[in-house]
Chain A
């Protein structure tokens, strides 16, 4: 962009900041802004299409190849092995996080408040599925946990 003389440094950094704030990928937004800056609406449309087209074509091409690839029995055997492995890794991560929270190394032994909060929150989260349809949402759980954390400090 600097080689073509489309923009100078100051404008570019300003555009980058704006592109990061608006929704969507930074590169797409940046292309749109540069395009609109230089060529109005048509410039914006052409720039955005140009930035997305190569990725779109590559993915389309890969999808055609991948379809026959997935039917291969060896590939299916590999995926059958990877699936429980990944689940095991995620499970271990979750369990380790919870144990790490409750058994903090600064206090010797169990951090009782954290253990209680963990059990209470888990009960509310999993139990709410029986009471209300779909139960407490993940964001709801996070907000509730934040409130409990602050309340624990206040009390």
Chain B
């Protein structure tokens, strides 16, 4: 309520259009900093690009899919890849031990 009366003062409204731009830049800065600290494994980069694309589509097409569903899917994908990797490693160990016995 107070904010609406505040915004009617034109020069404050114009200051806020400038601040909106600054906020966009700051969010971008945070994302870039996190990307720099992230381990650059192929699966991680894949999840990054995929979730980026999905959220952009949701915003542009005004599609109503919650970002929580996206996060849940990403976690699921990571677990699946982890299980596959674990299975592959166990198979490798079994091959080595059978070769040593035989």
Contacts and interface: CB of A to CB of B under 8 A. Distances in A.
A associates with B: yes
Interface of A: 73-74, 77-78, 80-98, 101, 114, 117-118, 121-122, 125-126, 138, 141-142, 144-150, 152-153
For chain B, what secondary structure do more than half of its interface residues adopt (helix, strand, loop), or is it mixed? helix
A97 B23 contact: yes
Given A84-B38, A141-B22, A146-B15, 12 more contacts: A81-B74, A84-B45, A85-B48, A85-B71, A88-B47, A88-B52, A89-B51, A90-B27, A125-B25, A142-B19, A149-B21, A153-B14
Nearest to B67: A89
A145 B21 contact: yes
A80 B78 contact: yes
A85 B74 contact: yes
A109 to B, nearest CB: 17
Contact of B51 (A88, A121, A149): A88
B56 A92 contact: yes
